[in-house]
Amino acid sequence: MAKKLTPYELFITELYGFNREFENSSEYVTKRYKNYHLVIVKEQGLYILKVSLIEGGFSKETASTDLSKLISDGIEYIDWCVHYG
């Protein structure tokens, strides 16, 4: 079950342009970047980044304890996909 993000974690995600969302008492943050949809969820001390193509057909999930690095790596991955993949 997703854990609630702390004010600091929300601040970090807002710096990267994520928006706060709620669903069935779970809290997460989302962002649209280029043709991709990014979702960050906090579970059991890990941040999980889910990247999916808005049109569907592709998704990737990765986790880390470093929120800022996870976000920047996710955006870098999308940029790579757009330019080379």
Give phi and psi for 20, each to the nearest 5.
Answer: -80, 135
Closest CA to 71 of 54, 42, 84, 26: 42
Please write the tens of the pLDDT for every residue from 10-56: 899 898 888 888 776 667 888 888 888 899 988 888 999 999 988 88
**What is the per-residue burial (b if ≥16 Cβ within 10 Å, else e) of 1-17?**
ebeebeeebeebbeebe
pLDDT, tens digit (0-9, with 9 covering 90-100), for 52-82: 988 888 888 999 999 999 999 888 888 888 8
Supply the pLDDT for residue 83.
82
DSSP state of 45: T
DSSP state of 3: B
Which pTM was predicted? Answer: 0.81
3-state SS assignment for residue 62: strand
